[in-house]
């Protein structure tokens, strides 16, 4: 009996996002017309957390040393805690999932580092097509931390998006829903997802 659920991740190729960080793509085929793609970004790095915490607490100590006010220390602790909670709950995306179910619709969901999931479902009747679009992306890189020089660069990036139909005019595109906004995978990853999606859209 065939296993209806094929699960495979691309081990031969390592994917990166547009900034060069490593990401991973997982494709799961639940049935002939239902597939799920998960793009996972890098997790919260312990080095950065420690660096941030040390910086804040060191500056709080210096201020305390100068002003002899203990409220500075407690406020520094509160700031770090609140900042970390806000970051993992609202900012840091752990993985993004695209679930495409033929003739039913497409579900896009982002899962944050704290476990919170935000989901959106778009019905098939509203979807015109799934395409890869180009965009110009402003990138700012700090050239050298010592010199603190910032260079603005523009690069062309590709992103996968869903085109929605206009209810009044079936041929026109009313809006565009971009996918994988936080993980920002590169073209090779997007092409694989695109090809799979087009197979399913063609069937139904």
**Is 31 near another protein (CB under 8 A)?**
yes
Name the token pair of 117. 């999931």
Site string for another protein, 45-64 (x = CB under 8 A): --------------------
**Is 80 near another protein (CB under 8 A)?**
no
Nearest Cα to Cα of residue 121 among 193, 168, 177, 166: 177
What interhelical angle do 46-67 and 71-86 show, nearest 10?
A: 160
Q: Specify the DSSP class assigned to residue 88.
A: I
Toward another protein, which CB reaches closer, 128 or 186?
128
Neighbours of 75 (CB within 10 A): 13
Site string for another protein, 134-173 (x = CB under 8 A): ---------------------------------x------
Candidates 25, 99, 190, 193; binder of another protein (CB under 8 A) is: 99
Judged by CB under 8 A, how many residues of this single chain contact another protein? 30
As a whole number of angstroms, the distance between CA 25 and CA 189 comes to 7
- Min CB(163)–another protein separation in Å: 17
Question: Residues 56, 79: contact at Cβ < 8 Å?
Answer: yes
Toward another protein, which CB reaches closer, 123 or 149?
123
As a whole number of angstroms, the distance between CA 94 and CA 12 comes to 22
**Is 198 near another protein (CB under 8 A)?**
no
């Amino acid at each position: 009996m065939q296993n209806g659920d094929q699960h495979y991740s691309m081990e031969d190729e390592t994917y990166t996002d547009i900034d060069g960080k490593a990401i991973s793509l997982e494709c799961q085929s639940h049935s002939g017309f239902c597939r799920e793609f998960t793009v996972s970004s890098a997790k919260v790095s312990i080095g950065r957390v420690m660096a941030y915490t040390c910086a804040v607490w060191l500056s709080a100590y210096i201020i305390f040393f100068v002003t002899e006010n203990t409220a500075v220390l407690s406020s520094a602790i509160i700031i770090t805690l609140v900042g970390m909670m806000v970051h993992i709950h609202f900012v840091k995306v752990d993985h993004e999932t695209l679930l495409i179910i033929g003739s039913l619709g497409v579900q896009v969901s982002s899962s944050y580092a704290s476990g919170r999931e935000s989901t959106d479902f778009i019905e098939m009747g509203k979807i015109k097509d799934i395409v890869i679009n180009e965009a110009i992306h402003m990138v700012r890189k700090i050239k050298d931390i010592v010199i603190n020089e910032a260079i603005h660069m523009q690069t062309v990036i590709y992103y996968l998006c869903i085109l929605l139909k206009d209810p009044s005019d079936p041929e026109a595109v009313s809006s565009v829903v971009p996918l994988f906004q936080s993980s920002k995978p590169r073209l090779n990853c997007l092409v694989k997802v695109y090809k799979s999606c087009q197979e399913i859209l063609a069937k139904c």
